[in-house]
Every structure is written in structure tokens, then in C-alpha cells.
Structure 1
Amino acid sequence: MATHSLSSLPFAGFTSHSHLSKRHLSLPLTSLYGNRLLLHPSTPFVIKHHSSVTSATVSLSLPTAKPDRTPSEKSPKWSSRSIKSFAMAELEARKLKYPNTGTEALLMGILVEGTSQAAKFLRANGITLFKVREETVNLLGKSDMYFFSPEHPPLTEQAQRALDWAVDEKLKSGESGEITTTYLLLGIWSEKESAGHKILATLGFDDEKAKELEKYLNEDIVMNYK
């Protein structure tokens, strides 16, 4: 098992992430080859926050800060598009040389995956990957050219809350099925002070569009918008 330490990495180039605590991320049998995310189904994904002496271990496919939320056999599973969007979010964070995967990266990940209901909805409303990348750099700035992002940039606290919001809303709905990228997108929107929320708002997303999107919460299929 490979362990990546961020204790010595510089946080130069932007301030939005610099307040976060130093973290260690332990990743089990998880690797990204091109656009394929390989996950071992029985191995937990562990994130340790040493500054607050807390840890989160989940047997699901995406990390959570609430491992005791519900018995594992009743926990909703993330859709394959959601998993791929998460992998693409990590990749986008690395491309920008950011030390963490924030809500802005999660938003880009949805658009990079591109085939989900959420991605189609965003593009239908003029919110494209290019625009989100541009707004991300405008808001957070560029990292130092000599900085190397970790292989799996750990989640910011806001991004983690967005993921947990999606799981909680799925549980509250009482609906069967998987947690779709639509839940993930609305989870990003729920974090009002996050970069992802601010970028969405700048590009014209609002509460009315969020309500419209709620109609498709349990659909993760390609739709045609006029």
C-alpha cells in the first residue's frame, strides 16, 4: 500500500487551499490508467486528518467523513459515472498542480466525464469545461510551476461535505438505486462558500436551475436537451 505524505509540500500560488491542515492519504489498490479507475471492492479507502485526530474509512467507492451513517449493506452505492467523475476531478486538480481536490475540481470532473445527466444539464445551460477551468484559475490562481500535485490530491473539507451531502440526500429520499452525478452536482451547489458554488453562480447556475435539476436526481443517463 502506497502512502503519500503532504507534510513537506509547498502551498504556494493560491490561498483558498492554504488554510487546510496537512494530510496523509493512504490509497488501497486504486489506480488510474487513462480513463479507467480500478477499485478493489473489498479494500477500504482511508483518509486521515492528523490535525483533528479524526479518520474516515469507507467500503464504498468514494470517501466519506461519516462511515457510521448507516449499515454498510444498506449504504447506497455511487454510480459508475460518479466514480469516473471523481477520478477525473483528481486528475484536473493535478493538471492545475493543486494540492487538494476541491469542489471546483469535482465540477470539472463531472464535465470531463461528460456523459451523465448532470454534465448534459450543465452544457445545456452554457456551463462548459473550458469556462469552468478559466473561472477556477481566475478565482484560485495558478500554482507554482515547480509544484507537483500528489497522485491523489486529498479532498478539501468543502468537497468532502459535498460528497456526504449527496449520500445523505440519497438516504433521505428513500429511493433505491445509485447515487448519481446529479446528487454530486447539487452537493457542490450546497456548499455556498466553496469555489465550485461560486464558479457555478458566475456562469449562471442558480437555485431555480438547481430545482430543475432535482427532477433528474435518480437518473444518470444521457438525455437530449433542445
Structure 2
Amino acid sequence: MAAICFTKLPNPSSTTAQQALNRQRHHHITQPNSLIVPPHSLNSFTSLPFSRKILTTRLSTHLPISATVLSSLPTAKPERLGSSGEKVPKWSWKAIKAFTMAELEARKLKFATTGTEALLLGILIEGTSVAAKYLWANGITVFKAREETIKVLGKADMYYFPPERPPLTDDAQKVLDWALDHKLKSGDSGGEVTTSDLLLGIWSEVECPGHKILAVLGFNDEKAKELEASSSGPGFIDG
């Protein structure tokens, strides 16, 4: 008959067993991925100063935030600014905001450039200027303008990633220069270049997409004259 051997298990209270348990605990603590936090202590864990520091570091590493504050809009004729004795008008902050919204809208639609259609959408999205209120009052909304934009220019490639600041098209640059010239010719040297000037500039470029979209949505020469009459003269405030 085969002999049966019995092995005596170590007593948990013995010195050898206690040392083994201590080594196991030490192993878990020293391993960076083995830290176990009880559910009831999560709140206190996330409130620790070092955890906030780690979170801030990760956010700054993986979520970069860039912001550009514009004080003026680009012009194709910088030599004319300040070349004469007349005071150069500034752009209103609502016009600058509308331009910024135009760049964002161009990126949203995945267009490689910021065109006159984007300038029109920027005016509508800004929403608080005289030009924007006039368009909305006449049934020209950002939703209709965006829909017509896609009809005129077509949908962009959904996998295309536009630049952070899509450059202006030639037509869009002409609109900005027209708006500035229009303010200079008005004789209101102390006034600002407003979104109304910007909208009238879009309408002045007959072949541009922005003009075509406006025409389809019911804007015409009479409405352009009405807008100009209501937004001209000294002391006019854009909004």
C-alpha cells in the first residue's frame, strides 16, 4: 500500500506566513498599476492636490486651446491706410465678431477658404447687429443661408480637415475692402465700419456666392438701399 504523506500548512499567525503577506502587500503598493482605491474613498482621492495637478497636466497636454483676438480685418491695400491725412475708420466689434464667426462657419462646413457665403453666415450667426436683425426680419435666416450655400457650392469632403483660419477668397477680400472704402466715402470719419457695410459689400459683388444666396432668399437693390439708409449717418451704433 502506498504511503500517504500529509504536509502541514503554515499557521497564518506564524512569522513565516506573516512575512509572506507583508511581501505581497509591499508588491501591490510599489506597482504603479496595482493601486486599488475603494469606491467609498473616490471622492477624497479626487480631491487630493496631486490629483488636480495630474488632471491639469493631462488637459494642457491633450487639449490645447488657442484663441486669436482681432482688432481689425485684413485689407489688400495696406498702403492706403494712413497715407492721407484723413482718419482711418475702425471696424466695429460686431463686424469683427461676424468675421470670426465666418471663419468658424467655413471650418464647420469643411471649406478650404472663407468666402462671401461664409461672411454672410457670420453676420447671421452674430445675430445682434442692425444688418443681422434686418436679414432675420426679412426671412433670411442662418438655416436658409446655410442650405443655399450647400446648393451653390456643394458639400465638402467629410474627411477633409480645413486650416485653423481658412484664407479669404478674392471675392471676400474685395468685400472687406469695399466696406472700408464705403465708410471712407461716406464722410463719417469718426464712425466705424459695421456689419451693414459688410453686408452691402457682399451685395456689391454680383458674381460672388454670397450675392447669389442673398438674391435667392429675397434680398434685392431696394432692400440694400433701405438698409444703407437706416445704418448711415454720424452717431450710428451697430446694434
TM-score, length-scaled by structure 1: 0.71
Which one has a larger percent strand, Structure 1 or Structure 2? 1
* Structure 2 residue aligned with 1:23: none
CA contact (8 A) 1:64 1:163 kept: yes
Give the one of 168, 173, 186 matched to 1:155. 168
How many aligned positions are there?
168
SS in structure 1 at match of 2:78: coil
Measure, in 1, the Cα distance between the counterparts of 2:230 and 2:73.
21
SS in structure 1 at match of 2:123: helix
Instruction: Please say if 1:70 is aligned against 2:84.
Output: no
**Gaps in structure 2 of 5+ consecutive residues:** 1-65
Moved more, 155-164 or 208-217: 208-217
* Larger Rg, first or second structure (1 or 2): 2
TM-score, length-scaled by structure 2: 0.68
SS in structure 2 at match of 1:74: coil
Measure, in 2, the Cα distance between the counterparts of 1:181 and 1:202.
20
* Structure 1 residue aligned with 2:180: 167
Alpha-carbon offset, residue 220 of structure 1: 4.0
Give the one of 125, 128, 137 matched to 2:138. 125
After superposition, residues 48-197 of structure 1 pair within 5 angstroms as 61-71=72-82, 74-175=87-188, 176-197=190-211
**Gaps in structure 1 of 5+ consecutive residues:** 1-30, 42-60
Query: After superposition, what is the alpha-carbon deviation per residue over 1:143-198, rounded to whole angstroms, capped at 9, x for unaligned?
Result: 11110111000000000000000000100111021101000000000110000000
Query: After superposition, what is the alpha-carbon deviation per residue over 1:118-148, rounded to whole angstroms, capped at 9, x for unaligned?
Result: 0000001100000000000011011111101
Measure, in 2, the Cα distance between the counterparts of 1:80 and 1:216.
19
Give the one of 69, 73, 86 matched to 1:38. 69
After superposition, residues 13-24 of structure 1 pair within 5 angstroms as none
* Structure 1 residue aligned with 2:231: 217
Which one has a larger percent helix, Structure 1 or Structure 2? 2
Alpha-carbon offset, residue 221 of structure 1: 3.7
Q: Percent identity?
A: 68
Residue identity matched to 1:105: A
CA contact (8 A) 1:117 1:182 kept: yes
Q: Let me know the Cα RMSD of the aligned residues.
A: 1.5
Measure, in 2, the Cα distance between the counterparts of 1:74 and 1:174.
10
Residue identity matched to 2:209: A
Residue identity matched to 1:80: W
Query: After superposition, what is the alpha-carbon deviation per residue over 1:26-69, rounded to whole angstroms, capped at 9, x for unaligned?
Result: xxxxx54xxxx523x5xxxxxxxxxxxxxxxxxxx100001012
